[in-house]
Amino acid sequence: MTMMSGARAFLEMLRAEGVQVIFGNPGTSESAIMALLPEYPDLRYILATQEGVAMGMADGYAISGDRPAVVNLHIETGLANGMSLLHHAMDGGVPLVLTAGNKDVRKLIEYRTDLADMVRQFTKWSVEATHPEQVPGVMRRAFQEARNPPSGPVFVGFSANALDGMAEMAIVPSAPPFLPPPPAESELRAAAELLASAANPVMIVGDRLAQAGGMAAAVTLAEQCGAGVYAASIARNNFPTGHPQFQGRINPTLSPGRRLLAEADVVLVAGANVFSGFFYLPGPSLGTGTKLIHLDSAQREIGKTEPTDLALFGDPRSGLELLAQLLDEGMDSNARDRAASRRASWQERTSQGRSAWSERLGERWDARPMSPERMMHEISQVLPATAVVVDDSLSSKDALHAALKFNESGSLYGERIGAIGWGMGAALGVKLAQPHRPVVAVVGDGSAMMTVQALWTAANYGIPAVYVVCNNRSYRILKLNMNIHRQEILGEEVEEGFEGYVGMDFPLPLNIAGIAEAIGVYGRTISDPEEIGPELTRSLDSGKPAVLDIVIDGRI
C-alpha cells in the first residue's frame, strides 16, 4: 500500500493495465490528471480538438489493436459531445474505458451533473468514484467489464475530491479476460442434427464472431453444410467477403431481407443480434416453419426478439468448431451430396451477382460525375494487399464491397450505421494500433464533415492515414432511408427522379480537400477517375496524412 492521490492512482492503474495511449480533449475538470502526465512519459496523450474525434480514435484503436482503449473527456459538456460515438461503440461491443472529471462531490447544492447516469444507457457499466481510495478498484473493474465478452464501453467519472484526495492505494491490474465456455454438447448435437437434415440452411454472422476469432470456423461449417452466408453487419471480418457462398449484408427486419430468408428451413445466427434495425414491420422476420439456432456470447441477445428453437450460449468460435465436428460425424452420403449441391447453387448465385456488378460498372464507366462503382474500381486497382480499409462509406458501401474483397481477418473495420462521424477518428486509431500497415479510410462527405477536426490531429501527430472521401454532395444515406420509410412504412411507390428530399443536399459542396490543406494535410479534389490510382499511390508512399476528395454521382 502506498499513499498517493486519486489522480496518481488513475495513471498508475493505466500503466498497470498496459495502456500506452490516452485519447482525449481535456478541460478544467481534468487538471489533476493533466498536471501529473509529464511524470508518465510511457502514457502518450493524443489530443483531439473535438470529442467525437477522440471517441472515434479510441474505437479504431480498440477494435484493431484487440485491447481496451482509454478516452478522457471533460465533465458533462465534453461527455455530451462524445455521446453519439459512445452509442456507436456500445452497438459494436467496443472495449472502451471512457473517463471524465466532475465537480467536487461537495458542490451538490450548486448543481452537479450525475455523469454516470447521463451515459448509463450507452455503456456496459457506468460509475463515478467520489473518494480517492475507490479509484484503483473502480479502474480494475472497468477494464474487466470492457474486455470480458460481450465486450463494450464503460464509463468512470471522478469527482474533483476523488482525484485530489490522498489515500493508501494498492495498484493491482485486472484479471485476464473471462472467456465464455463452449455451448453444451447436447445442444450442439441437436443443432448438428438440424443442419444435417436441412434442405436449405442459411448462416447469418455478426461482429461477436469476429471478436472471438471465429471466421475460419464459420467457413468450415458453411462449406460443410452448404449454407449461404449473410452478414448482419460488415463492421469487422466475420466471413471472407470473396467466398463463393457469401451473399453480402442482410436486414431481416425489412421486406427484402425477409424475402431472402423465406426459403430457408434452418437459420444459424452466430455472434449477431436477432434481429436489429431501425424500422418496425409487424410479424416475425422468419417463416413459421423456419428453425432458428442462435449461437452467441451475449446471453441477453439470445431469444430476445425472435422465437429461438436452439439457444447456444457460449464462445462463438469454439461453438462453431465443435458444431462442425458433430455435423461431420452426423452427415451420411446423401446429406453430403445435398450440401455439395447447395454449395454449387450459392456459387452460381454469387457468380451472377459479380456479373451484374461488372455490367453495371461498364454501363456507368464514363459517367460524369463518376459513379461510386467506378471510384471503387479505381481504388481496387492500386490498394496494397496489406492495406487496412476503414469503411465509413455509408451509401457507397455496396460499391465498395463489390469492388474489394476482404478475406483476411483485420483487413476491414467499418461503421455500424448508428451514428455518422466515426471514420475520420477511427482511421487514426487504426493506424496508431497498426503502424506498419497502410490505412485507407473511405468516408462519406457528410460523415467526414461531422469530425473533420480529425485532420488537425493527423497533421499534429503526423499520423499517415489516407482519407478517400465519397463526395456526393448530400446525405444520400438519408434519402435511401427515406425511400425505405415511404415503401415499407407508408406503402408508397418511390418514383424515379423524386426530388422532395428536404435538408439532405449540400448546394454548397463540402470542400474537404480545401479544409485539409488549410489544416496542413495534403488535399486533392478529384473528378477524373483516371487520377484516383496515381494519387492514392502517391499519398500512401508519402508517409503523411492525405485527403482525396472524390466527386461522385449522388443520384438515387
DSSP 331-342: --HHHHHHHHHH
Residue 31's Cβ-count burial label (10 Å; 0-12, 13-18, 19+) is: middle
Share of the chain above pLDDT 90, in %: 88
Q: How far is CA 202 from CA 32, 199, 273, in A?
A: 55, 10, 16
Residues 103, 130: contact at Cβ < 8 Å? no
Give the end of a domain, one of 113, 144, 169. 169
Tell me: do 342 and 372 sit in the same domain: no
The DSSP 8-state label assigned to residue 133 in this structure reads G
Provide the CB-side half-sphere exposure for 534 (13 A, CA).
Answer: 6
For the stretch 536-556, pLDDT in tens is 999 999 999 999 999 999 988
Residue 142 has pLDDT above 90, yes or no: yes
Is residue 178 a part of any domain in this protein?
no
Q: Which three cell numbers stand for residue 126?
A: 457506468
DSSP 421-456: -HHHHHHHHHHHHSTTS-EEEEEEHHHHHHTTTHHH
Minimum mean pLDDT range among 100-109, 115-124, 508-517? 100-109
Phi, psi of 190 (to 5 degrees): -65, -40
For the stretch 245-286, pLDDT in tens is 999 999 998 889 999 898 899 999 999 999 988 888 888 899
Gap between the Cα atoms of 358 and 365, Å rounded? 10
* Domain extent for 427: 364-551
Question: Alpha-carbon torsion 413, 243, 418, 145, what sign?
Answer: negative
Tell me: do 368 and 460 sit in the same domain: yes
CATH label of the domain that carries residue 225: 3.40.50.1220
Per-residue model confidence (pLDDT) at position 500: 86
Interval 360-368 mean pLDDT: 96
Interval 411-422 mean pLDDT: 90
Per-residue model confidence (pLDDT) at position 101: 97
pLDDT-derived band at 417 (thresholds 50, 70, 90) equals confident
Tell me: do 346 and 368 sit in the same domain: no
Tell me: do 63 and 100 sit in the same domain: yes
Minimum mean pLDDT range among 190-204, 248-262, 400-414? 248-262
Give the end of a domain, one of 169, 202, 222. 169
Tell me: do 323 and 372 sit in the same domain: no
DSSP 308-355: -SEEEES-HHHHHHHHHHHHHHH--HHHHHHHHHHHHHHHHHHHHHHH
Per-residue model confidence (pLDDT) at position 83: 96
Interval 503-516 mean pLDDT: 95
Per-residue model confidence (pLDDT) at position 416: 85
Tell me: do 387 and 475 sit in the same domain: yes
Query: What are the start-end ranges of the H helices in 155-199?
Result: 160-164, 185-197
The continuous run of DSSP H or E covering 457 comes out as helix 454-461
Type of residue found at 52:
G
Q: Which three cell numbers stand for residue 282?
A: 409487424
Q: How many CB atoms lie within 10 A of CB 364?
A: 15
Tell me: do 198 and 346 sit in the same domain: yes
| Terminal-residue alpha carbon distance, the chain | 64
Q: Which three cell numbers stand for residue 252?
A: 431481416
Question: Alpha-carbon torsion 95, 242, 275, 281, what sign?
Answer: positive
3-state secondary structure of 465: coil
Q: How many domains does the chain have?
A: 3
Residue 418 has pLDDT above 80, yes or no: no
Tell me: do 327 and 238 sit in the same domain: yes
Is residue 413 a part of any domain in this protein?
yes
Tell me: do 327 and 410 sit in the same domain: no
Is residue 51 a part of any domain in this protein?
yes
Is residue 176 a part of any domain in this protein?
no
Is residue 228 a part of any domain in this protein?
yes
- 156 DSSP β-pair partners: 99, 127
Interval 181-193 mean pLDDT: 95
Per-residue model confidence (pLDDT) at position 434: 97
CATH label of the domain that carries residue 459: 3.40.50.970
Is residue 426 a part of any domain in this protein?
yes
For the stretch 269-328, pLDDT in tens is 999 999 988 888 888 899 888 999 999 999 999 999 899 999 999 999 999 999 999 999
Tell me: do 310 and 430 sit in the same domain: no
Is residue 356 a part of any domain in this protein?
no
Per-residue model confidence (pLDDT) at position 494: 85
For the stretch 88-117, pLDDT in tens is 999 999 999 999 999 999 988 888 999 999
Residue 382 has pLDDT above 80, yes or no: yes
Tell me: do 81 and 162 sit in the same domain: yes
Tell me: do 227 and 194 sit in the same domain: yes
Give the end of a domain, one of 137, 169, 201. 169
Interval 394-409 mean pLDDT: 95
Interval 128-140 mean pLDDT: 98
Residues 133, 167: contact at Cβ < 8 Å? yes
The continuous run of DSSP H or E covering 216 comes out as helix 215-225
The DSSP 8-state label assigned to residue 369 in this structure reads S
Is residue 95 a part of any domain in this protein?
yes
Per-residue model confidence (pLDDT) at position 556: 85
Per-residue model confidence (pLDDT) at position 108: 80
